[in-house]
Amino acid sequence: MAHATEIRKLAMIGCGSMGGGMALLFAEHGITVSLNDPSEKTMDQLLTTAEKDGLQDRMQKHSSYEDLCNSLGFPKVFVFSLPHGTVGDSVVDGLHPYLTEGDIILDASNENWQNTQRRQGKLIPQGVYYIGMGVSGGYQAARRGPSLCPGGEERALEIVMPLLRKVAAKDSQGNSCVARAGSGGSGHYVKMIHNGIEHGMMSALAEAWQIMNLGLLMSYDEIADEFDRWNENGELRGTFLIAIGADICRQKDEQGRHVLSIVEDKVVQDVDGSEGTGIWSQLEAVRLHVPAPSLTTAHFIRLASAFRAERKHVKEAFGGQFPVQGWKEAKGEKKAVLESLRKAVYTVFLASFVEGINVIDQADQENRWKIDYSAVVQIWRNGCIIKADYITDMLADIFRKPDADLDLLHNKRVAQELHDTFPALKEVVMKGVEHNAIVPSLSATLEFLKYSTNTILPTQFYEAQLDYFGKHMFDLKSEAAGKPETGQHHHEWKLA
């Protein structure tokens, strides 16, 4: 198969908000897009949008896989935008009779990386390439240029990469935010951890927003102005979540109300099955024995928020809630408090990246994907939810060295950044605790930094208890710090 193959046609299977946006984006770049979706209405709506955008001549719908495949060139290229799980298996099975050697499937869904690798193995005998490709930036980016994280066979990626570079988001230097993450299911794995990092960042920013609103009694518009200041320069410059945070705080409906004021405190995507990556990223951190509390704690508050009726029931049982109190003493020092809050949020953001990359590193060692971390940083430069210019500039400098230590807590610059912002984080958490502020990710990150840098942990007593009732053995303080392996010593604390 020649590597100079130019893709002029592709099939988009799944035409919802993400798939539909990508279909329009491909068409806009001169690609003829064949549509397939179980809903005729969804395809018709997309065709109507295409007509408005002057792209109707580059799109057509197909109700059967046979017709869909007959509309394509060689190699046949398919882009999936499907719910995670068994739907992808059903589509692969449906396409199977019409696939030939050299065909390429780009799975742009938020699919579980293990499903990706299983399908790759299933299609190898047929000579069909299956690329797991994370897509980030939401439905707006899917239409205008998303961050793309493909992983799989290098030969297949050489064919699709010219097209992906055309449609991907561009960084400030005009470089495409797409690159081969690695082999196997690495593309979906990196995107999964991207979403875990995203949750840690979102939680910290939401916690800061509530402190400003209920603690410092700032209006939505005042908070928007503060977010603009944070996003302009310093450690939080060029951060997507802060930029949209300012937009969210300012947005008003037709009645003149701030839209944010009528939004319920209820995140359900993890519970209703529409989003799996948040759950999988936490499971991976635990499975691989990687402390990632900034990410996992953010997930727990999402879960608690989903069950609002249950929270109301608990509130009644408690005879009330623990209300967030105004930080009255902060009135005269509001500017200083806001600066501490900015640094605290940055600390969680950076810690989230550190934790997420540690998880990726362990998975990479296990699966031998040969992750290209410089490529991952480029993917995260723009078009994605975790875009954070200061942090990615720092990471780019670190990963430019081929022998870079992937545990970023060992890196002098990262360590210095976290060390310098630790006092601000501590101050915010202390005031938050005093005034009942809800600060799960902020406080979890504070504890993460404390126990990650400490060689005198309370687990000394914990280990003794385990040996007392379970004969789990222990190491001696007089011995060199070794690997996480069972100790060689036991004390008979009490005769059986």
Helix (H, G, I), strand (E, B) or coil at 406: coil
Cβ atoms of 15 and 37 within 8 Å: the answer is yes
Helix (H, G, I), strand (E, B) or coil at 485: coil
Helix (H, G, I), strand (E, B) or coil at 429: helix
Q: Considering 28, 61, 76, 191, which one is annotated as catalytic?
A: 191
Strands 104-107 and 129-136: parallel
Give dist(CA 112, CA 363) in Å, integer: 14
Strands 77-80 and 59-61: unpaired
Give dist(CA 166, CA 176) in Å, integer: 8
Sheet holding 104-107, edge to edge: 59-61, 32-36, 9-13, 77-80, 104-107, 129-136, 147-151
170 flagged as catalytic: no
Peptide bond between residue 125 and the one before it cis (omega within 30 degrees of 0): no
User: Can you list the pairs that 93-100 forms with residues at least 24 positions away whose Cβ atoms lie under 8 Å?
Assistant: 94/65, 95/65, 95/69, 96/126, 97/65, 98/65, 98/66, 98/69, 99/69, 99/123, 99/126, 99/128, 100/74, 100/76, 100/126, 100/127, 100/128
Residue type for 350, please?
A: L
- Give Cα 226 distance to the centre of its chain: 25
Phi/psi at 13 (5° precision): -105, 110
Give dist(CA 365, CA 347) in Å, integer: 27
Cα of first residue to Cα of last residue in the chain, in angstroms, is 71
Torsion of CA 19, 25, 26, 29, to 10 degrees: 180
- 245 vs 225, 269, 450, CA distance in Å? 10, 19, 29
For tokens 């840098």, the residue is 453
- 451 vs 423, 435, 457, 463, CA distance in Å? 15, 25, 7, 16
For tokens 């007959």, the residue is 70
Nearest partner of 62 among 90, 86, 18, 32, judged by Cα: 32
264 flagged as catalytic: no
Q: Considering 28, 111, 198, 275, which one is annotated as catalytic?
A: 198
Q: Element (H or E) spanning 235, and its range?
A: none
Give dist(CA 385, CA 139) in Å, integer: 11
Residues marked as catalytic: 191, 198
